[in-house]
Amino acid sequence: MSYKRILTIQDISCVGQCSLTVALPILSACGHETCILPSAVLSTHTAGFSGFTFHDLTEDIPAIQAHWQKEGIQFEGIYTGYLGSTQQVGYVKNILDTMGTENAVKIVDPAFADNGKLYPIFNDEYVAAMRTLCPSADILLPNITEACFLSGMEYKEAYDERYIKELLAALAVLGCSTIVLTGVGYSPDKTGVVVYQNGEMKYYEHKRISKGCHGTGDVYASAFTGAVLRGKTLFEAAKIAADYTVACIENTQDDPTHWYGVKFETALPKLMELL
Ligand code: PXL
């Protein structure tokens, strides 16, 4: 049993089943000590709610990091998601570069866009900052939209394997050559994930249940991180995270009142079984 200390850096959306409220329970269920650095506090996530509050925590980060350094605290895994500001990306890069143990695994989920569009608070300057985070990551975990914004390639709704390979090669140039690309589907009722390593693509295809469930990217990234830190290979972890995410969506799809996230909690025993 590998019990690791993981730091995850992303926002607290108080309501909405995403970011830290998803990462913390999932990483705990995977059997890891989970430390958090909240990037911002929001009343809800920003996809579908209007009038949400947003409190950026950028200013707090240097003092938190300095205290950890004074205490000699280091992390065996660092996993970043939705961040609070462009300036914060620089602070997070420094944390990735200095706060890991010798063999720490660093996973960056860009978490700034989906379905061809940036999330509300982000802009081109943020995307440019996010590019600078790539060389500090061991594994980059974008969806197709984020991969397009980062690499500068055109976003397409329909594509073939050649386009995906080109996209991954263009992304790898930014400095992280191990990429797990999510939401890759070559036919309407299928989706899947591509694991790209040493220029080679390996594809795990599974059924697509419904389009655009909120928070599934965070569910996927958290389960993937938990599985990798449990010593699974990248492909095994990618598959476990996909099967778990599908189970979460299946848990939720027959409840129209639950539009803002997925019921990931009742599927946690399945994740533990898959591990
Ligand atoms: O799930 C990604 C995410 C995280 N945090 C906040 C969001 C979103 C997606 O919209 O709004 C605040």
- Residue-wise pLDDT for 42-59, tens only, equals 999 999 999 999 999 999
- Residue-wise pLDDT for 209-242, tens only, equals 866 689 999 999 999 999 999 999 999 999 999 9
Site to probe by mutation for ligand 1, drawn from 9, 14, 19 as the one with most ligand atoms within 8 Å of Cβ, is 19
Q: Which atom of ligand 1 is nearest to the CA of 119?
A: 10
Instruction: Please tell me the predicted confidence (pLDDT) of residue 109.
Output: 98
Instruction: Please tell me the predicted confidence (pLDDT) of residue 210.
Output: 67
Residues with CB under 6 A from ligand 1: 11, 13, 18-19, 42, 45-47, 82, 111, 119, 215, 217-218
Tell me how far apart the alpha carbons of residues 215 and 210 are, in angstroms, rounded to a whole number.
13
Residues of the chain with pLDDT under 50: none
Q: Please tell me the pTM assigned to this model.
A: 0.98
